[in-house]
Amino acid sequence: MCNGSLDKWIFSKGQHGTLEWQTKCKIIADIAKGLSYLHEECRQRIAHLDIKPQNILLDEDFNAKVSDFGLAKLIDRNQDQVMTRMRDTPGYLAPEWLTSIITEEVDIYSFGVMVVEIVCGRKNLDYSQPEESFHLISLLQEMIKSDRLLDLLDRNSNHTKLHENEAIEMIKLAVWCLQTDSNRRPSMSTVVKVLQGAAAIDAGLDYDIVTKGPIISRKGDHHYGYHLGASPPPSASLLSGPR
């Protein structure tokens, strides 16, 4: 996978160049297909539980592969959900992690966060940003309500500027995946169909996508406020997990 991990291409400005819009769309579709296979086509459902750009690898043609299954969980087809200790990475945690009762839908949530990052060209949690905008998903909710979504698009990418309407539709797909009620999120096979133009995005989306819970301040202190995926960060041992 000679092009390394996705984060180096969407977060490291100027070091690896800018991905063209069609390449971004292809990468998003590849990830969706991979997760659809894990969730729906395997004998047991596989919840990856650590979907983030660092775990998406790119080959010489920018075909994307889901990698690093150290935190993955097998879910029997006859199980509705499983109970597990909190894992995953802060910034990509679905709200239901607060209960420790999860399904593969936590991956769908993390996928939604990652799609927003790809389209906007920045990390969900970026403490180099002003305090009012260091959390991208909170900022996304504000921009939706004030009808200013275009302000969120990656301004370092001329390719994204040329495809503004498509980028907005991609963000709406991400919002569908970010629904706080996990039952309202699409399956990954439905996401694939939307990306292929064979299905439409749910017209009744809930745009209140920020969950109230403990957040991490710039100094690392916990306090309460509005934050998406609002569980405290796992310990280093939980984040690394068995390899």
**Signed CA dihedral, 39, 41, 44, 48: sign only:** negative
Angle at 113 (CA atoms; ends 11, 148), nearest 5 degrees: 85
222: phi then psi, degrees, rounded to nearest 5: -90, 135
Catalytic site residue 50? yes
Beta-bridge partner residues of 223: 215
197: which DSSP letter?
A: T
**Tokens describing residue 26:** 């292809």
Between CA 39 and CA 236 the distance in angstroms is 27
Residue 198 CA, chain-centre distance (Å), reads 22
Which member of 30, 50, 88, 107 is catalytic? 50
Catalytic residues: 50
